[in-house]
């Protein structure tokens, strides 16, 4: 290691301590500390077992959900293969996120008929007021993200809770 790399390693460690990126985690656990403590030593079986192929591994070697192409179907596979005790089926059957709808981007809020977001939503967390305007029921939302990729205007994002 040369002198520049030596000093750079200190800076990167400092930057990584300041930036505490929050991820949408797989279901069945809300204890963020367990991900940091146990997942870096794990062979990431949860990522391999995911039927939707949405569990990715971050730079800190912890799992997170990528809703780009699909959502979580809460199939239990990730928890079934978790040997590190982070994900467990007795844990909450939801993710640490809720859907957020942008009224400015949503075509239904611009008086056009669209209900694509509600079709995959099994807990019926997307409610329509006046039969046109969707809103997310945050109490019913399990954070699965199935509504994200079906929205034609990309008006739905997932917010970490």
Q: What is the pLDDT of residues 23-66, one digit of tens each?
A: 999 999 989 999 999 999 999 999 999 999 999 999 999 999 99
Place of tokens 């367990």: 34
Give 54: exposed, middle or buried? Use CB within 10 Å, 0-12, 13-18, 19+: buried
Distance of alpha carbon 117 from its chain centroid, rounded? 17
How are beta strands 63-65 and 55-57 bridged, if at all? antiparallel
Q: What is the pLDDT of residue 129?
A: 85
CA-based nearest residue to 99, from 57, 136, 130: 136
Q: Is the dihedral angle over the CA atoms 28, 89, 65, 138 positive or is it negative?
A: negative
Distance separating alpha carbons of residues 114 and 68, to the nearest angstrom:
20
Place of tokens 């204890």: 31
Q: Is the pLDDT assigned to residue 98 strictly greater than 60?
A: yes
- The pLDDT tens digits for 108-146 are 999 899 999 999 998 899 999 887 899 999 999 999 999
Q: What is the pLDDT of residue 85?
A: 92
Q: What is the pLDDT of residue 5?
A: 54
The answer to whether 79 and 56 are in contact (CB under 8 A) is: no
């Amino acid at each position: 290691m040369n002198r520049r790399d030596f000093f750079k390693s200190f800076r990167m460690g400092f930057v990584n301590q300041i930036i505490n990126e929050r991820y949408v985690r797989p279901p069945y656990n809300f204890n963020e500390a367990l991900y940091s403590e146990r997942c870096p030593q794990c062979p990431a079986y949860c990522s391999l077992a995911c039927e939707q192929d949405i569990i990715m591994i971050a730079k800190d070697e912890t799992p997170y959900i990528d809703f780009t192409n699909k959502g979580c179907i809460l199939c239990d596979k990730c928890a079934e293969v978790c040997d590190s005790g982070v994900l467990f089926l007795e844990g909450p059957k939801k993710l640490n996120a809720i859907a957020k709808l942008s009224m400015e981007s949503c075509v239904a809020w611009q008086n056009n008929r669209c209900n694509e977001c509600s079709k995959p939503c099994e807990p019926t967390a997307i409610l329509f007021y006046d039969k046109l305007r969707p809103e997310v029921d945050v109490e019913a939302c399990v954070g699965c993200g199935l509504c994200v990729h079906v929205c034609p205007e990309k008006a739905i994002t997932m917010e970490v809770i």
